[in-house]
Structure 1
Amino acid sequence: MSNLAASAKLGPGNKRLAPPSPSPSNASNASRTDGTPSKRQKRDGVAAASVRDIRGASPTPTPAAMAAANTSYGNDMLTHLSYAVDFLKSKGAPKTLQEILDHLSLQHTPESQQQQFAALMRKHPRMQFTPAPRPKDGSKDKQQQLSWKLGKYEFRPKIPGVKSKVSLLEHLQAKTDASALAVKDLKDGWPDCDQAIDELEAEHRILVVRTRKENHAKFIWIDDPRLAHRVDPEFKAMWHRVEVPGVDDIVRKLTAVGQKPASEDPRLKKIETAATKQKPKRRGNRGSKPQQNVHMSHLLQDYSGHRKG
């Protein structure tokens, strides 16, 4: 006996009653008779499909992730370049590519990245590359394959080749203009040049402009020791003992003699300007003048008496 027949009951008047409707919980769990999945089945199916897609996805990165990785690698490479410049500047001697990579902890990076880093160092304006000498045995193929690993790199200062008093004087004599040489540019390749500057200044070989507070050398020019003459200390003392009259006395004495001073007393100018500011400018009273439009007199005549009756 089927479930439908067992669930059917006879009511009053021998009428067959309809089977009871399924509960909402049973209806949600059971699948539809027409073959379409329910909402819960759809939700479960979508979740299972998304999990399968995630598990079965390939581990290859997306193009956006690859582009971001390349960008970060480029930024890191620029940072390593600045560190390499500082390393060569501090050492003051030529270094090989392997020594630079070991200092930057880049010896385990891929060979393609090392080759790209070496190409950027050769084009850097603060680095000077010296290629390796050619081999005598004639093995050119091997040298061409490893040419990016050979050679040495050296720091290139703003003023190259100046690291002694002789080279400094030669550089100043070779200048074609009267511009000053900044000491900060000189220290870029010769950090401990202060003592040499002091000695050359004492020998009247260079002219030095110093700061007021620290008395540090700021700018230097070439000088000629033949133009330096020693002045007797007694004469210097006599010179400083001479009293120079004040500005008021100089102006008064020149005016009394009938001469015009080269510069007027600035205090008198201030007094005059203050007096002119205090006096307000008077505006002249403009009288009202009669305005006559002579050229329009024929238009203003009264022609009312010429009307036709």
Structure 2
Amino acid sequence: MASFSSTKLNNNGKRLAPPSPSPGANASPAKSDGTPSSASKRQKRDNVSIRDRASPTPTPAAAAAAAKATDFGTHMMTQLTYVVDFLKAKRAPKTLQEVLDHLTLHNLPEHQQRLFVNLMHKHSRIDYVPAPKTAKSAASDQPAWRTGKYQFKAKIPGVHDKMTLLAHLQQKTDASSLSVKDLKDGWPDCDHAITELENEHKILVVRTKKDNHAKFVWLDDPRLSHAVDPEFLNMWHRIELPAPDDMVRKLLALGQKPASEAPQNNAKTTNKAAKKRKTTRPPKHQSNAHMAHLLKDYSHMKR
């Protein structure tokens, strides 16, 4: 009776079939044959591709360690610039402790201090002065990497007064000039000393026309300097020189050749020498004596 009451009857009194389930309500992700549907395949493929493309997120501790290492390296390179300026201003060797105290880096861990010392040793503008080996230094508990001093390495090292400047110029083996700009890198206040040496005729100086600043320096010999009477200088400057065109005409009238014609004659001589035919030597007689056994005629030995 229960089953009969649960079914419906039509107008003619016939029993109706139960309604089929809707495909959207009870749809299965897999087909009847057990293979996954195309929608499930696409969803799985998209999820896998997104997961593969996503980069692994570092842990907060690893990210903080990486940022700290990068900041430390950048911080050390900046501190090296401050060390160069500090040593250049002091112009005297300084110990490692004095450098660390100036930069307030004395609280760094030991391994970071050693790294900073290695960077100072490799810097091109910092010169390391090892500590002298004495009994006191050997008995000290201080490690070797903390000993010694550091000083600024100038472009022209060792020149800091008039005597060292003259000694440096005397050691030059050529007639090249010494740049005052490079000299001021290790001796900033050298202008007064250069002027005094110039007045003493010990150096020759080329100065700028605008500001009269020393630009280049050469070595001079005071024995070659002679005082000239001012009256003679006035007479010399009163003599008027002819114009360049009149100079050539007057030289030709006196039977002299201008210097401008000399290169032309030299060029003609050079062209004549170039036109001469080179003599070629006859080739030497060459023989193949070492191959005589290979070139021998064996045709009479034919059978």
Normalising to structure 2: TM-score of the pair?
0.64
**What residue is the counterpart of 2:272 in the other structure?**
none
Distance 1:71 1:57 in 2: 16
**What residue is the counterpart of 1:89 in the other structure?**
88
**What residue is the counterpart of 2:268 in the other structure?**
none
Structure 2 stretches of 5 or more lacking a match? 262-303
Please report how far the alpha carbon of residue 7 of structure 1 lies from its aligned counterpart in structure 2 after TM superposition. 7.0
Pick one of 143, 146, 153 that aligns with 1:156.
Answer: 153
Please report how far the alpha carbon of residue 115 of structure 1 lies from its aligned counterpart in structure 2 after TM superposition. 0.7
- Give 3-state SS (helix, strand or coil) of 1:17's partner: coil
**What residue is the counterpart of 1:288 in the other structure?**
none
Cα distance change of structure 1 residues 97 and 262 upon mapping to structure 2, 3 Å threshold: same
Cα distance change of structure 1 residues 120 and 58 upon mapping to structure 2, 3 Å threshold: closer
Cα distance change of structure 1 residues 27 and 210 upon mapping to structure 2, 3 Å threshold: farther
**What residue is the counterpart of 1:276 in the other structure?**
none
Cα distance change of structure 1 residues 249 and 17 upon mapping to structure 2, 3 Å threshold: same
Cα distance change of structure 1 residues 206 and 93 upon mapping to structure 2, 3 Å threshold: same
**What residue is the counterpart of 1:272 in the other structure?**
none
**What residue is the counterpart of 1:61 in the other structure?**
62
Structure 1 stretches of 5 or more lacking a match? 265-309
**What residue is the counterpart of 1:143 in the other structure?**
142
Give the letter for the 2:77 counterpart: L
Please report how far the alpha carbon of residue 207 of structure 1 lies from its aligned counterpart in structure 2 after TM superposition. 0.8
Please report how far the alpha carbon of residue 170 of structure 1 lies from its aligned counterpart in structure 2 after TM superposition. 1.9
**What residue is the counterpart of 1:111 in the other structure?**
110
Please report how far the alpha carbon of residue 245 of structure 1 lies from its aligned counterpart in structure 2 after TM superposition. 1.4
Matched, 1:223 2:220: yes
The count of residues paired between Structure 1 and Structure 2 equals: 246
Contact 1:8 1:19 (8 Å CA) reproduced: no
Distance 1:59 1:5 in 2: 69
**What residue is the counterpart of 2:77 in the other structure?**
78
Per-residue CA deviation, residues 72-93 of structure 1 (Å, 9 max, x unaligned), is 6545433432332122112222
**What residue is the counterpart of 1:297 in the other structure?**
none
Distance 1:254 1:6 in 2: 147
Cα distance change of structure 1 residues 100 and 137 upon mapping to structure 2, 3 Å threshold: closer
Distance 2:5 2:150 in 1: 98
Contact 1:7 1:19 (8 Å CA) reproduced: no
Distance 1:108 1:143 in 2: 17
Normalising to structure 1: TM-score of the pair?
0.63
**What residue is the counterpart of 2:198 in the other structure?**
201
Pick one of 203, 211, 214 that aligns with 2:211.
Answer: 214
Matched, 1:254 2:251: yes
